[in-house]
Amino acid sequence: MNHLAAAEAPSQSVTAYGPAPFHAEGRGDVILRSSDGVHYKALKAILALASPVFDDMFEIPQGSNTQHSDEVPTIDVSESSPVLSTMLKLFYPAPVVEIKSYPVAFGLIQAFDKYLVPAKGLYTFLKDLLTENAVQSSPLESYALA
């Protein structure tokens, strides 16, 4: 009977969080939820300093795409978790970020444009994708990135 009771017990869904410092126990007063459902707990002040779009977003009342989780608002964004994670790491004072794939690079360019973030700092990280080996192995992506 115990086996049946365990099988009939409702399953609890586990919320996926990004890596430190964006994990569930991290400091943050807002949660950004990526398009693939990963939660990133962040500080509004850092987001607002990095992006005028976030600054404006936090100045106005939150709309219907915002939910509250443990008194911390959750905002759905259209970026995937690899793009959102890398973008947040670039916003925060943290160790150097390596951008190793073209999909993440292109997603970052779109996200920086969307959130009106100056891209000059991003170019430093993107140039590493344009090595001679990368150009030979992925000429079309390298051309598009350049």
88-120 pLDDT per residue, tens: 998 998 767 778 788 888 899 999 999 998 877
Which residue ranges make up each domain of the chain? 30-60+70-145
Name the amino acid, one letter, at 111. Answer: A
pTM of the model: 0.70
CA distance 41 to 30: 6
Which CATH number does 30-60+70-145 carry? 3.30.710.10
User: Which segments in the chain show pLDDT lower than 70?
Assistant: 1-12, 62-70, 95, 129-130, 132-133, 146
pLDDT for position 63: 57
